[in-house]
Homo-oligomer: A and B are copies of this chain.
Amino acid sequence: MSLPVLEARACAAAGQSGLMALYEAMFTQYSTCTAQVLVTNLDFHDDDKRQNLNSTLQELLRMNIVPIINTNDAVVPPPEPNSDLQGVISIKDNDSLAARLAVEMKADLLIALSDVEGLYDSPPGTDDAKFIDIFYPGDQQSIIYGTKSRVGLGGMEAKGGTSVVIANGTHPKVTGHVITDIVEGKKVGTFFSEIKPAGPTVEQQTEMARNTGRTLAALHPDQRSEIICHLADLLTERKEEILAANKMDMDLAANAGHLPPAMLNRLSLSPAKLNSLAIGLRQIAVAAQDSVGRVLRRTRVAHNLELEQITVPIGVLLVIFEARPDCLPQVSALAIASGNALLLKGGKEAANTNRVLHQLTQEALSMHGVTEAVQLVSTREEVEDLCRLDKMIDLIIPRGSSQLVRDIQRAAKGIPVLGHSEGICHVYVDADAAIDKVIKIVRDSKCDYPAACNAMETLLIHRDILRTPLFDQIIDMLRTERVKIHAGPRFASYLTFSPSEAKSLRIEYGDLECCMEVVDSMQEAVDHIHKYGSSHTDVIITENEDTAEQFLQQLDSACVFWNASSRFADGYRFGLGAEVGISTARIHARGPVGLEGLLTTKWVLRGDGHTAADFSEHGTMKYLHENLPVGQPLPGQRDSN
């Protein structure tokens, strides 16, 4: 069946009225009037026509009427066949019309929506094609336009002060948002810019970090230790420089006046803080001696075929931290110790301090030629944009509030996130609890540092304790410590006059507040924690060993404690040395995470021409699978042999 040949211009003219009706109806929803303007490219060659068009459009805009401008298809010459060939940019009428108009009207921004994401540096889909976020016309020679490029570039050189963005207008997930996203400055499509920024893009930074990271991983452990020790030295030797930068940040924050005192306190550095930071770094330098390349398992698979499982760095880490600048050298040292490349993104409040601390880190790294292994990402980069680099970043570690962690977990598409999202920790006071331990542990769990994720949020008490002297003592202690109590529904029902009822049994107060609830038994306490807890840290206080062991065994949390404060859930207190963070994830690392949380493993097999076929039914070889000594002890086992 042959279709009738349609004349393109006639078709376009026929569609025009329906299109205008749609525009008008849509804009009516926003109480905005529209006007139809039809022009041709030829109109621009005539100065009078151009001026008329210009004043008409200006007048429409002045009246808050949105002009819908289109090619006057009926009067233009017939379109040429599509000349979209390799190496040739096709210039479509609409694109060049838009560009001419934008320049003529001195528009601030021209947004060209099509069905492609934007520009790539080679034909999309080929091995090396990379998307271009920001395009500088001066770079044009580096671009190869492929047969798949359907976006015209007529006049899109961002001339005359008009910026240009080419983006996909058909993507179902962004349609309706793409224009507002672009206007808000989000990274959507390709932005044509006249000004080339001095620094590298975040993609280039990530690539540099990954490449240099491989060299870092190949250094001798002693060399990684040396870098960390050198950084520790620089923190004290160059403290004036650091403190001067910190003062700038502090002054800016004070002038802006929006930071609460606790935040200012975390932002500020002092010679004492730098000293203790340096001491911490030297501890990490020691741990660095025995992290990468540790043999975890060694197996003789067959004669002359030996397998080793060894620790290796994860790859490229992205660490996002808030106002605390002391995070920067600490996290850098952890990454260096574990041979990982690192992208750092700090809060903008600490921008000056972070810049100096990062310079010192790179200075230390330069002693073994791995300067670029740690990169500081511009504070303008948004977390969502960094999370787009899912093929280049292997692990994200947020260090900060649980709100930050939750935001990042939501934004991280496919990139694993290591971090606690919530710490709804429970202390369960059993019927057989000793009074002195209850008072000590409950006080410490709630009051030692109420904002910590390992602080108690819910106090569960056995029913038998109600109306006993122990109960009164607990309440008295909490009152003395000014802890505000919220009653769980059962607890409230037992009291004549109860405190205000808890809005939910799943609240992380993070302050001198807690929920109190009554349970009938240890089993009910376990069920309550499974239902409302966050599997972070939960405590039982009892003198009954059987009850305690049942609780420790049954409860499915990262940390389960018997007669000890929840505040012990901490890498340093656990004796893990440097702490990466506390993870509530169920895979990779759980609970307080030491340096090994930044390591993965690789399998090394050394043979002598072995093939799988050698071991087949008719083959000549047999599997031995003999465990061999690993040579080096595992961490935590040094004294065990």
Q: Is the CB of B568 within 8 A of A586?
A: no
Q: Which of B296, B315, B607 contacts A561 (CB 8 A)?
A: B607
* CB-CB under 8 A for A444 and B24, given A394-B586, A590-B601, A630-B640: no
Task: Please determine whether A587 and B590 come into contact, CB atoms closer than 8 angstroms.
Answer: no
- Contact check, A627 vs B623: say whether CB atoms are below 8 A apart: no
- Residue of B177, B440, B603, B625 near A172 (CB, 8 A) is B177
For A435-451 the 0/1 string (1 means CB < 8 A from B) is 01100110110001000
- Interface size counted on chain A using CB atoms at 8 A: 105
A575 and B307 within 8 A (CB) = yes
The A interface, classified by DSSP as helix, strand, loop or mixed, is mixed
- Is there contact, CB below 8 Å, between A25 and B29? no
Of all chain B residues, the one with the shortest Cβ separation from A414 is B409
A637 at the interface (CB under 8 A from B): yes
Q: Tell me the bound Cα distance from A627 to B606 in angstroms.
A: 33
Per the bound structure, the CA–CA distance linking A567 and B607 in Å amounts to: 13
Q: Does A556 contact B (CB under 8 A)?
A: yes
| Contact residues, A309-328 vs B (CB, 8 A) | 309, 312, 314-315
Q: How many copies does the complex hold?
A: 2
- List the B side residues contacting A638 at CB < 8 Å: 627
Contact, CB under 8 Å: B558 / A444: no
Are A175's CB and B173's CB within 8 A?
A: no
Residues of B within 8 A of A18 (CB): 25, 28-29
With beta carbons under 8 angstroms apart, the residue of B504, B552, B636, B641 that contacts A299 is B636
Q: Which of B296, B560, B568 contacts A301 (CB 8 A)?
A: B568
Whole-angstrom CA separation of A448 from B298 in the bound complex: 26
Residues of B within 8 A of A28 (CB): 18, 21-22
25 A-B pairs with CB atoms under 8 Å apart are A24-B25, A172-B177, A217-B556, A297-B635, A299-B574, A307-B574, A309-B636, A395-B587, A416-B585, A436-B609, A441-B609, A444-B611, A448-B613, A548-B606, A559-B603, A561-B604, A562-B607, A564-B605, A565-B611, A567-B612, A569-B603, A573-B612, A588-B588, A591-B603, A627-B639
